[in-house]
Structure 1
């Protein structure tokens, strides 16, 4: 079993602009109706904040919040960025433009279309020179991102930043790749035990579904933000906030992640 301490959590979801707001929603049902429509990550210069797509903004907002909660310098951490679709709004724009007026493609919007855009903005904004991984595994993207971060810890990293995010789809893509709202979640995971912080153990089960493995029921966050394709990240956050001791995450067509949580 791969083990890690959760040193910090960052969160931004439509209507829940930080981890404290998410916890308040889960525990009391309270929500701030005046929450902004999208985050404004202070890691970026003002002109970059304006140009950055919404998925980059939500990824960086959650990532910086997790680093601050962990009291870790953002530049010091290797990072794993996982997203199911990346920036679908820009993908829709590019497809429509290529079909109607291909010479009008915006170079700025094109460079924001690549799947590692958020990781690139993060390394520039944080001044991070360590490795940054960008991955996608369809509906299993969060589970595979978590596994990647845990393996990096097991391979020798002292701490790893995991960032999971997705945005809304638009145009014809909304029919084949539906997703609504903005959602970003980040964890700083470390090898350092701390009795005051939650610790997780992750075990990969393949080939056959374990008898105990069942998809987690929809909790408060999933009920509110389940339209976003990064919803699979929410059960772990719910389990940490609500002090559950175990959950199972589908991680592939015939794979499951068993996640045990010690709340200290």
Structure 2
């Protein structure tokens, strides 16, 4: 790789880390304000001012204030891996392909959430967050069911595809809950995920910092185990 390419990659990596730092800061501030004042007790402008960005920047990351609290980005990670998932139809069974699809979507995320327990508490006190999460879950369930149906050559509304998508959703949510509730386990760090004193992959301390690599490795471990249990149960 020449110096120009290296500089371009370095610049792109720096921009990505800055985006992740801004994303994490916006979500953290939205959750702090929700905990202190309730969801209706603050404005998007207050989130932006606290983080040092514009109101427009907040909406570049999130569609709504609820999405900022939930940490839901305005992007479709599933679509990025659609073709790879469909291409597995002739060489991999469906449980394995679904496992790899889920792992690939999490691998594409720079920041692995580790504060799920805090978010669950906020959602219990804010019906608007629960309603928004329900809508998002329903949308993603339909998208995954349609993708499964396409891979398996089924009708778009096929009950098998819907059931499989529902099972995947349950496996992911139960995994995230377990990850949020268990203590940090540095021994689970993946050697492929470098962690230095500045945090994971050079991320700013406190924003996907030292806990990031262990969390990612542990997330993969828990997800893989749950998919294997499902395979044994229904295989």
- Answer yes or no: same fold by TM over 0.5: no
Larger RCO (CA within 8 A; separation ≥ 6): 1
* TM-score normalised to structure 1 length: 0.29
